[in-house]
Structures are given as structure tokens and as C-alpha cells.
Amino acid sequence: MKGVAPRRGIPAHDDPDGREFLTGEVRTGVVRHGSAVPSTLAARILALVPGERVRTLERPVSYAVSPDVFTGVDCTLPSGSGRQARGVGTLTCRVALVGGRVLQGSAYTRLTRGTDGRRQSWSHYLARPGSVEVLGRSSVDDLAAGLLAAAADPAHLDPGGAADRTVDVVRWAPGLDGRLPLRAARTRLRWVVTTGDQDALPSAALTTGAGAFRTLRVGLPAGVPAMAAVELCEDVALHDWLLTTLLDRVSRSRLDDPSGSLEPLLPAVEHLLHLWMPAARTDPRLVPLRTGLDRRAGLSRQWDATVARIRDQFSLRTIMLLSAHGPAVGDGTAGR
Amino acid sequence: MTGVEVAFSEAAGLRTTDDVPLAHVSVELGHLYAEDFAGGPERLRAHFARVRPWVDAVRAAADGRAAGGRARMSTCFLVDDYFTPFSSPAELVPQLLDAARAVGVEIDYLARESGCATAHGVPLAQLVEGRLVADPAPGTTGARPPATENGWLCNGQRSPVATASAMSGAVAWVPPVQNGARNHSVFLDVELRSGAADSQRWSCAFLATVWQLLRLGLLRNDGRSVADAVPWDGALPDVWGDLPPLLRLRAGARAFSAYRTFSILAPRFLDVEHAVRTVLAQVAIDEDVRAQVRRRARTDDPTLPVEVVDRLGYLFDA
């Protein structure tokens, strides 16, 4: 086999080489509540499974995540080649609330090779929750190409739809006042993670195109738990949404026009600026990959530059206001 | 800076999961209705006399599977105080114990059926309902919820219901389909509960599912064990509600929960148990609990099936 790039088959459930193949989608938006959702309310609205605890963390930014909810699927899997494969199993769904402001739905699954080439009884799939077995001839690369394609066939596996459904339970939960703190488009990030490829270096490729659809493909060497990569994808989706939303507010406020209103920026300043914390909960083994991706995509640089620009504008306008109404600026007495 | 090791964790982010003691097999010694008890001590003794050889056979089979060749076995009996409460613990329990002992059968644990709905304030049936993951019909992508009827659970796709507009024309019947059927379907639709929210009643099949899960040691509430057995101190109340949900009658009894269950039942319970298996196949067990049991079984019951429904054994005998 040496010298020939092997066409990678779908890993078995207990793959001897520890290979794993996961896919999922993250839907990110703002929570409908006038102020930051306090952690006690977050714990109540995210309690999607009776008898299961909502995980809440306060540092470095408040984060609450629902217990996992499973949903069954039995449908066609998208592929790059158009070859049809069937997937049967369950998606893991969860909802997270970041900083009491950002509501994130995440649905994902582990794709594994099917058993005996046919659909098993349902108890078989619930004995391996959070995985979808692939029935039919297929390969990792073919499925990955299909999963990351923007064009969606409604008959295909739809983790994003499952994520949205789970978020909807929380979005309209009693206790939330339904007021939008700011208008912001929801973003979708579809991802594929493969682990355990021989000699593979950690890799991550983020694609942002027109509209709200992004893709992220992550490759990891053996030994890194794929779950850590799921959290990484959610972290990237969060920060991509924050940046997208901030840039949208900036473009609405016409910063380059001195008479333009800064009003559209106020909710972003109030609700979002403090939430930028890349890799806050990323597994230490994946931090170099996360920071590398950030550097390459320039997310933090663009965020920092935009925040600096907003602050400069606010300072500038404040000074202008002061100079118009108060004592002259720069005489050494102002503000003392 | 090299060689620095830092750690930070928040307690609220962590959860521990109770381990529960496990026998190899939990044997249910029958399930009786009020009329069976009305038949008096003779009828009860005859029941346990019929059960006895099967109990011995279950022990022999369990010994054969257990690592070390000696299985830990416990026996249990479930009294229906949920649907048709009758008699009282003070009257009925001694009768039951005497009848069993007279033919050399020991009842280790006594449970109340309403304890499967709520035990020590924990709504067990609700916990299980919250863990149901419906068997998806082909064409389920995740975008829409599986077709469910409130309070019912089935093993496939129901027959389409004729709507008013469809009824005007001739409507051909479309059969229901069992998911994953081998050639032909055996379709089953199980009623989980009935009644309005304030007067809701769980079905016998659903409570029996909870009962199986308790016997398999697979239920937790926020990681804590539920319906722990309370040792019997000799006194018995006059009202079923005053009796603990699960009572340990014999001091030296093996653990109540077990890797596997074996139920010796009259054939009239076959449909209920078919329903139990249909529901149980759609319960997502907590991953930590599942892993715990699997880890322990590796050295204790090495051939334990991965799928929970396969851990249930039965004998149906009149």
C-alpha cells in the first residue's frame, strides 16, 4: 500500500487504529431576552432532559450548556460523487448559552461503518448513542465533500435542522422576555472532523462564503479525542458569529461619516464586545490549532481592529461633543 | 517558562455518577392480581411451587455465565398498588412470604408498582419518558421531529389517517410498517400514559419498563441512584403508600439490581412484556451508567449483551 494514497473507508465503531469521523452543524444567534440571561434562568431553560444537570461555568466567560438530547435519523447521506449511502442512528444535540447573550445549537454525530449491511433493530443504535452507521459503499472523503457542500437536498442528513429544533425549545422557553437585544443574523457552521490518520498533522480549514453558511474541516492525529474537536468547532462558530454581527453593526452605522449615527453600535458594545474569548474552553492539545486557525483567518486581528475603531469613534465623538458644549479640550483642566 | 503545570476546574461543571451494587441476575417471581390473592394461601403456595424449578434453572444458567462459576442472584416480587390497590402490606406481605417459604422459595425484595412512577419523591417514569428517543422511519433527516403521537410510542410507521378530504374518495388502506422489519412487519403501538396533565396515569407497560430499568440498575437522577432498597425492620404499615418503594426482606440478600433480569410470568403478560421491550429499545441510557456497567461486566459477566433489551430473559408459563 505504500506510496498509494488509500481511499479511506468509513471507520468501524471501535476502529483498531482509533480513527474517527464526525460531522455536525452549529447554529449561532442571539437569545431573545432584553438583558443578559442570569445563570439561574439559564440552568432552568436549558434543562432539556429531566434528571440531567445543566453544566454551567463562569470563567472566563459565563457558559451554560444543556444535557445532550438524542434524535433518531434514517436518511440519505450527501456525497461528493453523488453515490448514495444511507445513514441510520442518532444525532447528539445540545444548546449552549454564552455570556447570557449568545444562543448556540449544536448537533453532531460520529459516522461509523454499518453492521451487516442492513438496518438493525433500534436498540442496536441506542446502544451506541451519538453515532450514525453508514450503509452502502462510501468513503470518508466522498462523504466529507458532500457534507461540506453548500447546496442542501432536503432528503439528506440535516444536523443543522436538528440543532435548530433543539434551540427552538429554548428560544421560546418561559422566563425569557422575548425581546431581541439586537438584530443579528443567525449563522450556520457545518463541520467535519477526522482523527487518527497516519502521520497527519493537525489541520483546520475554515471557509466563509456569501450568506450565513460556513464550513470547517478539521483533521487530527490519533489520540486526540474527537469530542475536543466538537468544542473547537462550536468555539469557532461562536467567534465567527460575533465578528459577523459586529461587522454588520459597523456597516449599518456608517462610521466613515462623521455625521453618521453610532446608535446601531450601542447594542453591540453593550452586549457583545466582552464575549470575545477564543479558545476559552478548548482542550489544551487543540489550542495551537485553534490559535493557528485564528491567525490564518485573521479573526482576532479583524475583531481587535474593529473594536479599536469603534472605541476611537466613540472617543472622538465624545471629544467633539465636549468641545462643542464644554470648556476647550486640551487646556489641561478638562475632566479634572 | 517551561515545566509549568496549571489546572483550573469549576465544580458546577462536573458531575459524578453513583455506582450501584449489581448481582448477576434479578429474578422476578411472578406478578399476581387481586383475584390471585383472593384464592387464599393454597393458591399462592401453588404459584410458588410452579415457579420453584424455574428459579433453580435460572441459577444454574447464571452460574454458567458468571466469571468464577458462581452467580449472585436476587429475587423480587412486584405488588400492584397503582391500578387496583388491594389488601394492605400488613396483611399481604406475610401471606406472600409464608407461601413462598413453604415451597423453598425466598423473596429477597418487595416493590410497589407506584414506586415505578415516583420513588422517594423522584418522578422515575418522567425521567424515563424524558430519555425516549423514537425509532425513526426511513426519510427522517433530523430536521423534523420523528412522527410521534403524544403519549404513544410505536416500533415503526403508523397507517396514515384518512382526512376529511381523502374520505370523500375511496381510500385504500395503507398498512403500518415496522422499522427494520425482516420481510414482514409486527407493528406495535404502545400507550405510555393516559388522562389530562392533572390526572395523568402511566400505563402498566410503561411502569413495567421502569421496573426493568430499575432491576438493571440503569436509572439515575442527576447521577444519583434512585429507589434504593430499604431494609425491612419487621414492621409493616396498613397502607401501601407508607411502605418504601423497594423493601429488602432478607438481610443476606444479594444486590437488587443485576446485569440481567429474568421474569417468570403467566402468559397473559406476554403482550405487556412485548410493549416493555418496544419501549425499552427506545430509551437512551445515560452514557456514564452504561459505561460503568460494561466496565464491571468485563470481569463479572463477560458475555453481557451490549443492547439493553438483550439483557432481559423470560419464562412464560401458566
Give the per-residue pLDDT at A159: 97
Q: Rounded to an integer, what distance in angstroms lies between the CA atom of residue B106 and that of residue B48?
A: 10
Q: What is the b/e burial string over B205-236, where b = at least 16 CB atoms within 10 angstroms of the residue's CB?
A: bbbbbbbbbbbbbbbbbbbebbbbbeebeeeb
Query: Which residue in B135, B145, B222 is closest to A122 by CB distance?
Result: B135
Phi-psi group of A3: left, alpha or beta (phi > 0 → left; psi -120 to 50 → alpha; rest → beta): left
Within 8 A of B281 by CB-CB distance, chain A residues are 121-123, 126
Q: Are A85 and A137 in contact (CB under 8 A)?
A: yes
Cβ contact, residue pair A122, B126, below 8 Å: no
Give the per-residue pLDDT at A317: 81
Query: Which of these ranges, A186-195, B12-21, B227-236, B309-318, has the smallest mean pLDDT?
Result: B12-21
**Measured between CB atoms, does A225 come within 8 Å of chain B?**
no
Probe site for chain A from B8, B14, B141 (most A CB atoms < 10 A): B141
Q: Rounded to an integer, what distance in angstroms lies between the CA atom of residue B265 and that of residue B44?
A: 14
**Helices and strands of chain A, counted as H and E runs:** 8, 10
Burial of B54 (0-12, 13-18, 19+ CB in 10 A): middle
Better-scored residue on pLDDT, A65 or B40: A65
Q: Rounded to an integer, what distance in angstroms lies between the CA atom of residue B6 and that of residue B88?
A: 61
Q: Taking Cα atoms as reference points, which of A109, A116, A290 lies closest to residue A203?
A: A290
The residue of chain B with its CA nearest to that of A89 is B136
Probe site for chain B from A14, A68, A122, A153 (most B CB atoms < 10 A): A122
Residue B120 CB contacts under 8 Å (≥ 6 apart), including other chains:
B226, B227, B228, B244, B245
Query: For residue B35, what is its C-alpha cell?
Result: 383475584
- For cell 490519533, the residue is A222
Biggest distance spanned by C-alpha atoms of chain A: 84
Collapse the DSSP code of A195 into the 3-class scheme (helix H, G, I; strand E, B; otherwise coil) and give the result. Answer: strand
Within 8 A of B134 by CB-CB distance, chain A residues are 72
Rounded to an integer, the average pLDDT of B40-45 is 92
Within 8 A of B122 by CB-CB distance, chain A residues are 51
Tell me the nearest-neighbour CA distance from A26 into chain B, angstroms: 13
Give the per-residue pLDDT at B187: 95
Give the per-residue pLDDT at A199: 65
Query: For residue A297, what is its C-alpha cell?
Result: 483567518
Within 8 A of B133 by CB-CB distance, chain A residues are 70-72, 90, 126, 129
CA angle B239, B212, B232 (to 5 degrees): 40
The residue ranges of chain A whose pLDDT is under 50 are: 1-6, 329, 332-336
Residue A187 CB contacts under 8 Å (≥ 6 apart), including other chains:
A27, A28, A29, A212, A213, A214, A237, A240, A241, A244
Q: Are A233 and A276 in contact (CB under 8 A)?
A: no
Collapse the DSSP code of A199 into the 3-class scheme (helix H, G, I; strand E, B; otherwise coil) and give the result. Answer: coil
Give the per-residue pLDDT at A328: 53
Give the per-residue pLDDT at A4: 42
Residue A259 CB contacts under 8 Å (≥ 6 apart), including other chains:
none
Within 8 A of A74 by CB-CB distance, chain B residues are 136-140, 179
Q: Rounded to an integer, what distance in angstroms lies between the CA atom of residue A187 and that of residue A182?
A: 15
pLDDT tens-digit series, residues B71-124: 999 999 999 888 887 889 999 999 999 999 999 999 999 999 999 999 999 999
Biggest distance spanned by C-alpha atoms of chain B: 83
Please say if the pLDDT value at position B298 is more than 80.
Answer: yes
Residue A203 CB contacts under 8 Å (≥ 6 apart), including other chains:
A217, A218, A219, A289
Cβ contact, residue pair B179, A122, below 8 Å: yes
Q: Rounded to an integer, what distance in angstroms lies between the CA atom of residue A297 and that of residue A305?
A: 14
Q: Are B259 and B311 in contact (CB under 8 A)?
A: yes
- For cell 417471581, the residue is B29
The ipTM value here is: 0.90
Residue B270 CB contacts under 8 Å (≥ 6 apart), including other chains:
B316
What are the residue ranges of helices labelled H in chain A?
39-45, 122-126, 140-147, 159-171, 226-253, 266-271, 287-297, 299-325
Within 8 A of A165 by CB-CB distance, chain B residues are 142-145
A60 cis-preceded (ω within 30 degrees of 0): yes
Give the per-residue pLDDT at A204: 87
Centre a 10 Å sphere on the Cβ of residue B57 and count the other Cβ atoms it contains: 13
Tell me the nearest-neighbour CA distance from A311 into chain B, angstroms: 33
Confidence of residue B169 (pLDDT cuts 50, 70, 90): low
Query: Which residue in B142, B144, B290 is closest to A91 by CB distance?
Result: B142
Q: Three-class SS string for chain B?
A: CCCCCCCCCCHHHCCCCCCCCCEEEEEECCCCCHHHHHCHHHHHHHHHHHHHHHHHHHHHHHHHHCCCCCCCEEEEEEECCCCCCCCCHHHHHHHHHHHHHHCCCCCCEEEEHHHHCCECCECHHHHHHCCECCCCCCCECCCCCCCCCCCEEECEECCCCCCHHHHHCCCCCCCCEECCCCCCCCCCEEECEECCHHHCEECHHHHHHHHHHHHCCCCEECCEECCCCEECCCCCCCCHHHCCCEEECCCCCCCCCEEEEEEEECHHHHHHHHHHHHHHCCECCCHHHHHHHHHHHHHHCCCCCCCHHHHEEEEECC
Query: For residue B212, what is its C-alpha cell?
Result: 426493568
Element at A93 (helix H, strand E): strand A85-98
Q: Which amino acid is at B113?
A: E
Q: Are A57 and A95 in contact (CB under 8 A)?
A: no
Within 8 A of B280 by CB-CB distance, chain A residues are 123
Query: For residue A42, what is its C-alpha cell?
Result: 439559564
Query: Which residue in A56, A72, A129 is closest to B136 by CB distance?
Result: A72
pLDDT tens-digit series, residues B278-297: 999 999 999 999 999 999 99
Collapse the DSSP code of A15 into the 3-class scheme (helix H, G, I; strand E, B; otherwise coil) and give the result. Answer: coil
Q: Are A79 and A142 in contact (CB under 8 A)?
A: yes
Give the per-residue pLDDT at A327: 60
φ, ψ of residue A287 to 5 degrees: the values are -60, -45
Rounded to an integer, the average pLDDT of B238-256 is 94
Give the per-residue pLDDT at A334: 44
Residue A258 CB contacts under 8 Å (≥ 6 apart), including other chains:
none
Tell me the nearest-neighbour CA distance from B123 into chain A, angstroms: 9
Q: How far is CA B114 from the centre of its chain?
A: 13
Query: Which residue in A57, A74, A121 is closest to B10 by CB distance?
Result: A57
